[in-house]
């Protein structure tokens, strides 16, 4: 009898975990695109010498963002209930 009561709850938890995994994948895509844009903007500022110091900072922060995103892509959180 208890199994019948818990079955809908387990199904609901599985649906929620699937949605969280989809949101995580989308956030990783946004992070990768953001890292590319930040590095490109920093490189433009750096090499055109409009604001060289700010350009260097943007390039370094974009590289750091790319490394952090890649870490989370390689070691994602476990959304499974198993």
User: Closest Cα partner for 77 from 27, 13, 24?
Assistant: 24
Q: How far apart are CA 62 and CA 44, in angstroms?
A: 13
Residue pair 60/75 in contact (Cβ under 8 Å)? The answer is no
Confidence at residue 10, expressed as pLDDT on a 0 to 100 scale: 80
Q: How far apart are CA 42 and CA 48, in angstroms?
A: 10
pTM for this structure? 0.77
Tell me the per-residue pLDDT of 20-79, one tens digit each, with 9 for 90 and over: 989 999 999 999 999 999 999 999 999 998 888 999 999 999 999 999 999 999 998 876
Token pair in block for residue 37: 């844009």
Domain extent listing, the chain: 25-76
Q: How far apart are CA 40 and CA 15, in angstroms?
A: 38
């Amino acid at each position: 009898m208890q199994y019948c009561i818990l079955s809908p709850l387990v199904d609901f938890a599985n649906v929620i975990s699937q949605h969280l995994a989809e949101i995580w994948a989308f956030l990783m895509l946004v992070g990768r695109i953001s890292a590319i844009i930040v590095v490109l903007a920093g490189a433009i500022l750096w090499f055109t010498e409009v604001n060289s110091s700010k350009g260097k900072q943007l390039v370094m922060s974009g590289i750091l963002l790319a490394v952090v995103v890649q870490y989370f892509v390689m070691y994602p959180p476990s959304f499974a209930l198993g």
